[in-house]
Amino acid sequence: MAKSAKSTISGFIEFLPEQQLVLQEFICRIREAYELHGFSPIETPAVERVDVLTSKGGESAEREIYAISRLLGQQDGADVTDANLALHFDLTVPLARYVASYASQLSFPFRRYQIQKVWRGERAQAGRFREFYQCDIDIIGREQLSLLADAEMPAVIYDVFRSLTIGDFIIRISNRKILRGLLRHYGVDGDTSAASVRVIDKLDRHQQSDWKDVLIAQTTLSPEVVEHLTEFFFSADCSTAETLQWLSAHEAKADGDFALGVEELGAVVKAVGELGVPETHFTIDLRLARGLDYYTGTVFETLLIGYESIGSICSGGRYDDLASFFIDEKLPGVGISIGLTRLMAQLLDKNIVKPRASTPAKVLVTSLDKKHLPEYLNIAKVLRSANISTEVFTEKARLGKQLKYAVRKGIPLVIIAGDQELSEGKVQLKYLTEDFAQKDIEEIPLQEIASRVTEKLRELSLSWNAW
């Protein structure tokens, strides 16, 4: 649990307004980046039929599902299907159901984003939430989907995290076919291969020295194969061009999957660069495995430089078939997901994000004298018409208390107007600096309020927009 966040029920996080403002701004910027790349919003009900949710199988998912039922039992005339409803635990199963339901009304490739909460009845533990936001995009093809769709993912990731300004990041790219082909080349296939991939996925960011020991301890791979693998994973730590060249010359290229994986990876990486992601922000990393069996080709992860221990802040990959349970048509796709609630809790906890204000208001109009209320309300009206978020202090209180209120909420500008100012057609504009120690007063004519405040806010924007 983030130290600055609250929760009344274990696993359900709740933010104070100053934190929620940042979360809200994050959601807006993520949405903007998704829309910039032509993804359309959809939203599915929080509630799905249980048979829909369990369609992909997997006992662990089933154990985490929250079923819903009427607190006081069935009402007269109530829908009997209510008994088989539950909260969605991800946005992928609902997407599959949605695409299958409306296939004839959608245009393919179908590019959708979906930012919603999901619920999982997980065991309560630090950093795990039972309710959390997922911010997903996917591109779904009908029967086929170009590798360019894969290349769009890092381009979107790049725009999202540049916009969030939470620090440097790197997008790691690999292709599952390479690892599968490599293992088969060394005689490892089937269940042993899948199990090894899961171990490699967990090893991922460990030191090279750990790899051999863990692989020998936790898999049934022979020491010889383990030797080949660790050599493979740790010799390719260079530029994407060099890595691709090295892969093309690798002895495992005799394996069809390996060769196809290298070809796909090359095409994706080339297009990622052409879409504008600089070489500094993405890399081929063959250690990246992504444990989910779901992925069949390109896979992605994103690390925040200096905070790699947080784990991936945005992951995803290519899959062969989205909705085979719901529709008799092959729907290949590629997607990524940001686990926003967990990310936000981590950013707050590590002080990477420091909320500055508990209100969107940029101006507080103080009340000195009840008889001037019409003027105060009019000032608020004028500022709001100029699109400046404004609050009027409406309660009875001395000016000192009103200023403290502004300071506490992080409102940078305060307007003060008593008999004298108003009789001269003026107001005082007080600027409460970031540390609230200094205060800066200037008198401005009433008719210039909107323009002067806009100007002042523009001056301040750097320090006040930063978090």
The pairing of beta strand 426-432 with beta strand 439-445: antiparallel
Q: Quote the least distance from Cβ 24 to its own copies, whole Å.
A: 5
Q: Quote the least distance from Cβ 214 to its own copies, whole Å.
A: 27
Nearer to its own copies among residue 15 and residue 319 (C-beta)? 15
Q: Phi/psi at 61 (nearest 5 deg)? A: -60, -45
Nearer to its own copies among residue 121 and residue 214 (C-beta)? 121
Chain centre to alpha carbon of residue 354: 18
Q: Quote the least distance from Cβ 227 to its own copies, whole Å.
A: 39
Are 291 and 197 contacting, i.e. CB atoms less than 8 angstroms apart?
yes
Tokens in use for 147? Answer: 């590798």
Nearer to its own copies among residue 233 and residue 326 (C-beta)? 326
Nearer to its own copies among residue 64 and residue 320 (C-beta)? 64
Using DSSP, state whether 192 is helix, strand or coil. Answer: helix
Tokens in use for 154? Answer: 């890092």
Identify the burial level of 57 via C-beta atoms within 10 angstroms of its C-beta, where 0-12 means exposed, 13-18 middle and 19 or more buried. exposed
Q: Choose among 302, 5, 270, 289: nearest CA to 151.
A: 270
Q: Quote the least distance from Cβ 308 to its own copies, whole Å.
A: 28
Chain centre to alpha carbon of residue 317: 15
Q: Quote the least distance from Cβ 115 to its own copies, whole Å.
A: 10
Identify the burial level of 76 via C-beta atoms within 10 angstroms of its C-beta, where 0-12 means exposed, 13-18 middle and 19 or more buried. exposed
Length of the chain: 467
Residues facing residue 445 across a β-bridge: 426
Nearer to its own copies among residue 11 and residue 266 (C-beta)? 11
Q: Choose among 312, 389, 357, 339: nearest CA to 22.
A: 357
Nearer to its own copies among residue 166 and residue 275 (C-beta)? 275
Q: Quote the least distance from Cβ 269 to its own copies, whole Å.
A: 13
Are 149 and 108 contacting, i.e. CB atoms less than 8 angstroms apart?
no
Q: Quote the least distance from Cβ 459 to its own copies, whole Å.
A: 21
Q: Phi/psi at 439 (nearest 5 deg)? A: -135, 145
Q: Quote the least distance from Cβ 53 to its own copies, whole Å.
A: 8
**CA atoms of 315 and 173, how far apart (whole Å):** 10
Nearer to its own copies among residue 252 and residue 379 (C-beta)? 379
Nearer to its own copies among residue 110 and residue 211 (C-beta)? 110
Place of tokens 């990246």: 288
Q: Quote the least distance from Cβ 233 to its own copies, whole Å.
A: 30
Give the 3-state secondary structure of 242-299: HHHHHHHCCHHHHCHHHHHHHHHHHHHHHHHHHCCCCHHHEEECCCCCCCCCCCCCEE
Nearer to its own copies among residue 196 and residue 402 (C-beta)? 402
